Protein backbone atom coordinates (compact mmCIF):
# COMPACT_ATOMS: atom_id res chain seq x y z
CA UNK A 1 0.00 0.00 0.00
CA UNK A 2 1.41 3.40 -0.95
CA UNK A 3 2.23 6.06 1.64
CA UNK A 4 0.36 9.28 0.85
CA UNK A 5 1.86 12.69 1.71
CA UNK A 6 0.01 16.00 1.53
CA UNK A 7 2.43 18.84 0.74
CA UNK A 8 0.69 22.03 1.91
CA UNK A 9 3.03 24.84 0.82
CA UNK A 10 1.99 28.01 -1.00
CA UNK A 11 5.33 28.49 -2.80
CA UNK A 12 4.77 26.47 -5.98
CA UNK A 13 8.48 26.05 -6.72
CA UNK A 14 9.24 24.78 -3.23
CA UNK A 15 6.17 22.58 -3.26
CA UNK A 16 7.34 20.89 -6.43
CA UNK A 17 10.92 20.64 -5.15
CA UNK A 18 9.74 18.89 -1.99
CA UNK A 19 7.75 16.36 -3.97
CA UNK A 20 10.68 15.66 -6.28
CA UNK A 21 13.08 15.27 -3.34
CA UNK A 22 10.80 12.81 -1.56
CA UNK A 23 9.82 10.82 -4.64
CA UNK A 24 9.91 7.09 -3.93
CA UNK A 25 8.16 4.11 -5.40
CA UNK A 26 5.80 3.80 -2.45
CA UNK A 27 5.10 7.55 -1.99
CA UNK A 28 2.17 9.36 -3.58
CA UNK A 29 1.48 13.06 -3.17
CA UNK A 30 -1.33 15.56 -2.84
CA UNK A 31 -0.65 19.24 -3.40
CA UNK A 32 -2.17 22.25 -1.65
CA UNK A 33 -1.25 25.91 -2.11
CA UNK A 34 -3.88 27.33 0.26
CA UNK A 35 -5.37 26.30 3.59
CA UNK A 36 -8.69 25.68 1.87
CA UNK A 37 -7.03 23.22 -0.51
CA UNK A 38 -5.18 21.59 2.40
CA UNK A 39 -8.40 21.02 4.34
CA UNK A 40 -10.15 19.61 1.27
CA UNK A 41 -7.23 17.29 0.44
CA UNK A 42 -7.12 15.99 4.02
CA UNK A 43 -10.87 15.31 4.10
CA UNK A 44 -11.13 13.79 0.64
CA UNK A 45 -7.83 11.97 0.06
CA UNK A 46 -6.94 10.79 3.59
CA UNK A 47 -3.14 11.24 3.47
CA UNK A 48 -0.78 9.42 5.84
CA UNK A 49 1.37 12.49 6.59
CA UNK A 50 1.11 16.27 6.14
CA UNK A 51 3.98 18.65 5.43
CA UNK A 52 2.42 21.90 6.60
CA UNK A 53 3.58 25.43 5.89
CA UNK A 54 2.74 28.07 8.50
CA UNK A 55 1.94 31.08 6.33
CA UNK A 56 -0.74 30.90 3.64
CA UNK A 57 -2.54 33.63 1.70
CA UNK A 58 -5.81 32.58 3.35
CA UNK A 59 -4.70 31.93 6.91
CA UNK A 60 -2.26 30.38 9.36
CA UNK A 61 -1.16 26.76 9.27
CA UNK A 62 -1.21 26.56 13.07
CA UNK A 63 -4.98 27.12 13.01
CA UNK A 64 -5.36 24.10 10.73
CA UNK A 65 -3.07 22.04 12.96
CA UNK A 66 -5.08 23.01 16.04
CA UNK A 67 -8.32 21.87 14.40
CA UNK A 68 -6.70 18.75 12.98
CA UNK A 69 -5.48 17.55 16.36
CA UNK A 70 -9.03 17.55 17.71
CA UNK A 71 -9.93 14.61 15.48
CA UNK A 72 -6.76 13.04 14.09
CA UNK A 73 -3.23 11.96 15.08
CA UNK A 74 -1.91 12.04 11.50
CA UNK A 75 1.84 12.83 11.48
CA UNK A 76 2.52 16.51 10.75
CA UNK A 77 5.86 18.13 9.89
CA UNK A 78 5.67 21.92 10.12
CA UNK A 79 7.56 24.02 7.56
CA UNK A 80 8.28 27.45 8.99
CA UNK A 81 10.11 30.47 7.56
CA UNK A 82 10.51 31.97 11.00
CA UNK A 83 13.65 31.01 12.86
CA UNK A 84 12.02 31.76 16.16
CA UNK A 85 11.78 29.60 19.25
CA UNK A 86 8.19 30.74 19.75
CA UNK A 87 7.11 29.21 16.45
CA UNK A 88 8.89 25.96 17.26
CA UNK A 89 7.20 25.78 20.66
CA UNK A 90 3.82 26.65 19.15
CA UNK A 91 4.00 23.93 16.53
CA UNK A 92 5.11 21.23 18.96
CA UNK A 93 2.61 22.29 21.63
CA UNK A 94 -0.21 22.02 19.08
CA UNK A 95 0.78 18.45 18.32
CA UNK A 96 3.24 18.67 15.40
CA UNK A 97 5.56 15.68 15.20
CA UNK A 98 8.53 17.79 14.07
CA UNK A 99 9.41 21.07 12.38
CA UNK A 100 12.03 22.33 9.95
CA UNK A 101 13.00 25.95 9.34
CA UNK A 102 13.34 27.47 5.88
CA UNK A 103 15.63 27.57 4.08
CA UNK A 104 16.35 23.89 4.58
CA UNK A 105 18.23 21.29 2.59
CA UNK A 106 16.04 18.76 0.86
CA UNK A 107 18.31 16.03 2.21
CA UNK A 108 17.55 17.17 5.76
CA UNK A 109 13.83 17.25 4.97
CA UNK A 110 13.97 13.75 3.52
CA UNK A 111 15.67 12.45 6.67
CA UNK A 112 13.05 14.06 8.94
CA UNK A 113 10.19 12.66 6.88
CA UNK A 114 11.67 9.17 7.01
CA UNK A 115 12.20 9.43 10.76
CA UNK A 116 8.62 10.54 11.37
CA UNK A 117 7.27 7.86 9.09
CA UNK A 118 9.21 5.10 10.83
CA UNK A 119 8.43 6.37 14.33
CA UNK A 120 4.73 6.85 13.75
CA UNK A 121 4.31 3.58 11.89
CA UNK A 122 6.10 1.73 14.69
CA UNK A 123 4.08 3.32 17.50
CA UNK A 124 0.82 4.50 15.95
CA UNK A 125 0.54 2.15 13.06
CA UNK A 126 0.80 -1.16 14.90
CA UNK A 127 -0.91 -0.54 18.22
CA UNK A 128 -4.22 1.23 18.83
CA UNK A 129 -5.58 1.41 22.35
CA UNK A 130 -8.49 3.36 23.83
CA UNK A 131 -10.92 2.42 26.62
CA UNK A 132 -12.67 -0.79 25.59
CA UNK A 133 -10.49 -1.52 22.56
CA UNK A 134 -6.94 -2.78 22.03
CA UNK A 135 -5.77 -3.59 18.50
CA UNK A 136 -2.25 -4.87 17.82
CA UNK A 137 -1.93 -4.98 14.04
CA UNK A 138 1.63 -6.30 14.15
CA UNK A 139 0.86 -9.32 16.35
CA UNK A 140 -2.71 -9.61 15.02
CA UNK A 141 -4.23 -9.44 18.47
CA UNK A 142 -7.61 -7.73 18.74
CA UNK A 143 -9.49 -7.22 22.00
CA UNK A 144 -12.87 -5.73 22.89
CA UNK A 145 -13.44 -5.21 26.63
CA UNK A 146 -10.49 -7.54 27.27
CA UNK A 147 -11.92 -10.37 25.16
CA UNK A 148 -10.05 -11.62 22.11
CA UNK A 149 -11.86 -11.43 18.78
CA UNK A 150 -10.88 -12.97 15.44
CA UNK A 151 -10.88 -10.81 12.33
CA UNK A 152 -10.64 -11.85 8.69
CA UNK A 153 -8.01 -10.20 6.47
CA UNK A 154 -10.52 -7.74 4.93
CA UNK A 155 -11.83 -6.89 8.42
CA UNK A 156 -8.29 -6.21 9.63
CA UNK A 157 -7.58 -3.90 6.68
CA UNK A 158 -10.87 -2.11 7.20
CA UNK A 159 -10.27 -1.62 10.92
CA UNK A 160 -6.73 -0.33 10.26
CA UNK A 161 -8.09 2.27 7.86
CA UNK A 162 -10.71 3.38 10.38
CA UNK A 163 -8.39 3.78 13.36
CA UNK A 164 -5.76 5.51 11.19
CA UNK A 165 -8.32 8.21 10.28
CA UNK A 166 -10.41 8.77 13.42
CA UNK A 167 -13.36 11.08 12.97
CA UNK A 168 -13.01 11.25 9.21
CA UNK A 169 -15.69 10.07 6.80
CA UNK A 170 -14.12 7.47 4.52
CA UNK A 171 -15.97 7.09 1.20
CA UNK A 172 -17.20 3.64 0.19
CA UNK A 173 -15.21 3.81 -3.04
CA UNK A 174 -11.99 4.55 -1.18
CA UNK A 175 -12.52 1.70 1.29
CA UNK A 176 -13.34 -0.80 -1.45
CA UNK A 177 -10.28 0.21 -3.47
CA UNK A 178 -7.90 0.01 -0.50
CA UNK A 179 -9.17 -3.37 0.68
CA UNK A 180 -9.87 -5.34 -2.47
CA UNK A 181 -8.31 -3.61 -5.49
CA UNK A 182 -5.05 -5.53 -5.34
CA UNK A 183 -5.27 -8.88 -7.10
CA UNK A 184 -9.02 -8.84 -7.72
CA UNK A 185 -10.69 -7.97 -11.00
CA UNK A 186 -14.21 -7.86 -9.62
CA UNK A 187 -15.68 -7.15 -6.21
CA UNK A 188 -19.37 -7.59 -5.49
CA UNK A 189 -20.94 -4.23 -4.63
CA UNK A 190 -22.27 -5.71 -1.38
CA UNK A 191 -18.85 -6.93 -0.20
CA UNK A 192 -18.12 -3.75 1.74
CA UNK A 193 -21.55 -3.65 3.40
CA UNK A 194 -21.22 -7.29 4.46
CA UNK A 195 -17.71 -6.76 5.84
CA UNK A 196 -18.80 -3.63 7.72
CA UNK A 197 -21.73 -5.50 9.23
CA UNK A 198 -19.56 -8.39 10.41
CA UNK A 199 -16.91 -6.06 11.82
CA UNK A 200 -19.53 -4.05 13.69
CA UNK A 201 -20.89 -7.17 15.39
CA UNK A 202 -17.42 -8.20 16.51
CA UNK A 203 -16.66 -4.72 17.90
CA UNK A 204 -19.89 -4.28 19.84
CA UNK A 205 -19.41 -3.57 23.52
CA UNK A 206 -21.81 -4.39 26.31
CA UNK A 207 -24.47 -1.72 26.36
CA UNK A 208 -23.03 0.04 23.33
CA UNK A 209 -22.70 -0.50 19.62
CA UNK A 210 -19.49 -0.42 17.62
CA UNK A 211 -17.98 3.02 16.94
CA UNK A 212 -18.43 2.65 13.18
CA UNK A 213 -20.94 5.23 12.01
CA UNK A 214 -22.67 5.23 8.65
CA UNK A 215 -22.58 8.54 6.82
CA UNK A 216 -25.48 8.00 4.45
CA UNK A 217 -24.72 8.50 0.80
CA UNK A 218 -20.98 8.81 1.43
CA UNK A 219 -19.36 6.12 3.54
CA UNK A 220 -18.36 5.35 7.13
CA UNK A 221 -16.48 6.95 10.02
CA UNK A 222 -14.70 5.64 13.12
CA UNK A 223 -16.06 7.72 16.00
CA UNK A 224 -15.38 6.37 19.47
CA UNK A 225 -16.76 8.35 22.40
CA UNK A 226 -13.81 10.75 22.60
CA UNK A 227 -14.16 11.97 18.96
Residues 165-224 pLDDT 10s: 777 888 888 888 888 765 454 567 788 999 999 999 999 987 778 899 999 988 999 988
Burial of 87 by CB count in 10 Å (0-12 exposed, 13-18 middle, 19+ buried)? Answer: middle
CA atoms of 164 and 35, how far apart (whole Å): 22
Q: Indicate whether this model's pTM tops 0.95.
A: no
121 DSSP β-pair partners: none
Q: What is the dihedral of CA 184, 185, 190, 194, to 10 degrees?
A: -10
pLDDT of residue 122: 54
- Mean pLDDT across 1-22: 91
User: Residue 221 in contact with residue 210, Cβ under 8 Å?
Assistant: no
> How do beta strands 76-80 and 98-101 pair?
parallel
DSSP bridge partners of 55: 60
Please state, in angstroms and rounded to a whole number, the distance separating the CA atoms of residues 164 and 48. Answer: 8
CA distances to 137, 184, 226 from 215, rounded to whole Å, are: 26, 26, 18
Residue 214 forms beta bridges with which residues?
A: 220
Among 149, 84, 78, CA closest to 109: 78
Residue 109 phi/psi, 5-degree rounding, is -60, -45
56-71 residue pLDDT tens: 999 999 999 988 887 6
Rounded to whole angstroms, how far apart are CA atoms 11 and 25? Answer: 25
Among candidate residues 98, 131, 94, 132, the one with its CA nearest the CA of residue 112: 98
Tens of pLDDT, residue by residue over 184-200, are 545 677 889 999 999 99
Q: pLDDT above 70 covers what percent of the chain? A: 89
Q: What is the dihedral sign for C-alpha 157, 159, 163, 167?
A: positive
Amino acid sequence: MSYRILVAEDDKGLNQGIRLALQKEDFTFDTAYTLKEAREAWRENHPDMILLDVNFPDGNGFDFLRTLRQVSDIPVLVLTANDMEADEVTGLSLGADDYITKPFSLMALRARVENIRKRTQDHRGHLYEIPGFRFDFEKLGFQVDGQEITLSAPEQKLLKLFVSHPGQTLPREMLTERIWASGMDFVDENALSVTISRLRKKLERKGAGAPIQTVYGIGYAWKPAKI
